[in-house]
């Protein structure tokens, strides 16, 4: 089915580099043969991992939404022996230090990220038992990690990207450090992190890696002496959710820095790519199914994409102890709205404005019902009149499919109304006197 979303306007040449926890996904928009040569020569250097059979084949075309599983490997292979990252570390470890699901939707001009806590307790695919998600790769390789995440969260995974600590360090070095807003002093001796002053700090490679990895940070009490260990107290509650938030913030900051440093220029792109790919050991790996053409097309779709448009999601979890291990359990009902957005082939996640057109009714419960069904409510307000008898779904030509999808969830069948323009939302739901609710299971047809 043709998606109704607007096509991204193609303006000037640019290179979309999705850098997430230092993970580099080349998505190159090429304006000429020279640019194509840069992209092709660099991408061909990237090692591939054979996981094709574990990836989803649901995607119908390169313009449709796809999910990337981006994985940071807890390995210090290739890192300077003097780096603090080697403290109490086996260079051959196969634990995943960061797992991030990224949805790229060219037709909707949207990029979203979902951090998956490393301590999330999941059934290991094909094994018959459960473990923390960060152990899945070590148990059965990249394929097992892909299948475990996909099966447990119910989301398709179309591509896989993996990077180790050396790759992360090289990216930060290539953009001359990453400026980060530090709200308050932060310290974690176990990873070599120490920033005593709040404010904007440009993190060098070692500091950047320590910043995104810290799990037990301390902060200096007001008026405290930095040299006195007793003046440093725990910062936050020391859980994976806080660390995930820092990682997401760092991802966006890295992207902004890359653009500021001229990543849209082919010569700059070559330099950054060389930083990442050169060396005795590979620091980044791609799946064996993604092609050069797909990468180039992806970048071409996102010529006008702005870094601050990246959407951030998190999984609702609860602390638990299983077999003596401190783990996190997914709160499944609360997680569904976020997960629906990452389920390719679904129009759930559509941005809806809810308008009250019935003076004797209320839209207070409508928002919750829509979000439970997977839609995103961006605003709740009054309609332009209060005598609406039949509930309506308003839409523009570009969002006809989204309107049809919403109508399939609303009880009873609403009226579809084509309008010239809707600002700030994909569709509008005008709640009338006949409104009876929102169903989590759509009808076969909206009519």
412: its two tokens = 């009873």
CA geometry: angle at 53 spanning 48 and 54, to 5°? Answer: 90
The percentage of the chain sitting over the pLDDT mark of 70, rounded to a whole number, equals 70
Q: How many angstroms separate the most distant Cα atoms in the chain?
A: 73
d(CA 207, CA 75): 17
Would you say 353 and 424 are in contact if contact means Cβ atoms under 8 Å apart?
A: yes
Q: Are 403 and 422 in contact (CB under 8 A)?
A: no
Give the residue with greater pLDDT, 371 vs 289.
Answer: 289
* pLDDT level of residue 380 (50, 70, 90 thresholds): confident
Quick check: helix, strand or coil at residue 193?
Answer: strand
327, two tokens? 């783990």
Q: Tens digit of pLDDT for each residue in 326-352?
A: 999 999 888 887 887 787 555 545 789
**Are residues 259 and 21 in contact, defined by beta-carbon separation less than 8 angstroms?**
no
Q: Render pLDDT for 125-172 as a digit per residue (tens, 0 to 9).
A: 989 999 999 899 989 999 999 999 998 998 889 889 887 767 677 778
* Tokens encoding 378: 């961006």
Q: Other C-beta atoms within 10 Å of 89: how many?
A: 15
In this prediction, residue 3 has a pLDDT band, given cuts at 50, 70 and 90, of very low
- In this structure, the number of other CB atoms found within 10 A of the CB of residue 284 comes to 24
The per-residue pLDDT for range 90-118, each reduced to its tens digit, is: 545 556 777 889 888 777 677 788 889 88
Which of 95 and 192 is assigned the larger pLDDT?
A: 192
In angstroms, the CA 132 to CA 308 distance is 32
> Distances from the Cα of 404 to the Cαs of 346, 415, 440, 442, in angstroms?
12, 10, 15, 10
Predicted model pTM: 0.63
- For the stretch 424-434, pLDDT in tens is 888 999 999 99
The overall average pLDDT reported for the chain is: 77
Grade residue 27 by pLDDT with cuts at 50, 70 and 90: very low
Between CA 192 and CA 72 the distance in angstroms is 19
> What pLDDT score does 372 carry?
73
Q: What is the mean pLDDT of residues 50-79?
A: 73
Provide the H-helix boundaries in 278-322.
292-301
Return the domain boundaries, the chain: 49-174+239-257+307-341, 351-438
Position 32 scores a pLDDT of 36
CATH code for residues 351-438: 3.30.70.2390
Angle at 150 between CA 345 and CA 367, to 5 degrees: 55
In 3D space, the residue among 322, 309, 208 whose CA is nearest the CA of residue 254 turns out to be 208
Per residue in 294-329, pLDDT (tens digit) is: 766 665 555 556 666 778 888 899 999 999 999 999
- Residue 1's CB is within 10 A of a number of other CB atoms, namely 8
Distance CA(334)–CA(266), nearest Å, equals 44
Report pLDDT for 14. Answer: 24
Return d(Cα 80, Cα 173) in angstroms, integer. Answer: 13
In eight-state DSSP terms, residue 124 is P
State which CATH number among 1.10.1660.10, 3.30.450.20, 3.30.420.40, 3.30.420.590 fits the domain covering 49-174+239-257+307-341.
3.30.420.590
């Amino acid at each position: 089915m043709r998606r109704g979303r607007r096509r991204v306007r193609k303006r000037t040449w640019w290179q979309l580099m999705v850098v997430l926890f230092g993970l580099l996904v080349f998505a190159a928009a090429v304006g000429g043969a020279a640019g194509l040569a840069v992209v092709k020569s660099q991408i061909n250097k990237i090692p591939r991992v054979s996981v094709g059979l574990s990836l989803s084949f649901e995607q119908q075309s390169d313009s449709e939404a796809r999910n990337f599983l981006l994985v940071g490997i807890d390995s210090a292979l290739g890192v300077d022996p003097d780096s603090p990252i080697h403290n109490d570390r086996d260079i051959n470890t196969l634990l995943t230090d960061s797992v991030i699901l990224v949805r790229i939707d060219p037709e909707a001009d949207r990029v979203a990220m979902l951090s998956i806590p490393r301590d999330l307790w999941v059934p290991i695919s094909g094994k018959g038992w459960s473990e923390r998600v960060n152990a899945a790769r070590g148990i059965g390789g990249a394929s097992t990690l892909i299948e475990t995440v996909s099966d447990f969260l119910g989301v398709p995974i179309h591509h896989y990207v993996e990077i180790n600590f050396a790759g992360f360090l090289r990216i930060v070095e290539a953009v001359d450090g990453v400026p980060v807003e530090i709200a308050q002093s932060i310290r974690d001796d176990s990873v070599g992190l120490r920033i005593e002053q709040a404010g904007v700090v440009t993190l060098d490679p070692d500091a950047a890696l320590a910043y995104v990895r810290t799990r037990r940070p301390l902060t200096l009490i007001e008026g405290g002496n930095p040299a006195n260990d007793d003046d440093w107290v725990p910062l936050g509650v020391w859980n994976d959710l806080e660390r995930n938030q820092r990682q997401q913030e760092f991802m966006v900051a890295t992207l902004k820095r890359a653009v500021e440093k001229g990543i849209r220029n082919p010569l700059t792109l070559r330099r950054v790519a060389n930083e990442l790919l050169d060396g005795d050991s590979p620091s980044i790996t791609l799946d064996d199914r993604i092609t050069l053409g797909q990468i180039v097309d992806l970048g071409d779709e996102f010529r006008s994409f702005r870094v601050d448009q990246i959407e951030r999601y998190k999984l609702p979890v609860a602390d638990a102890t299983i077999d003596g291990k401190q783990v996190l359990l997914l709160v499944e009902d609360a997680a569904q709205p976020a997960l629906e957005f990452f389920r390719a082939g679904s129009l759930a996640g559509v941005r809806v404005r809810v308008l009250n057109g019935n003076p004797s009714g209320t839209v207070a419960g409508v928002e919750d019902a829509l979000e439970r069904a997977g839609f995103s409510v961006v605003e709740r307000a009054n309609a332009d009149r209060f005598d609406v008898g039949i509930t309506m779904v308003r839409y523009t030509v570009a969002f006809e499919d989204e309107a049809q999808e919403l109508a399939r969830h609303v009880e009873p069948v609403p009226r579809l109304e084509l309008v010239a323009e809707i600002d700030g939302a994909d569709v509008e739901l005008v709640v009338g006197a006949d409104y009876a609710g929102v169903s989590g299971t759509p009808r076969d047809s909206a009519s």
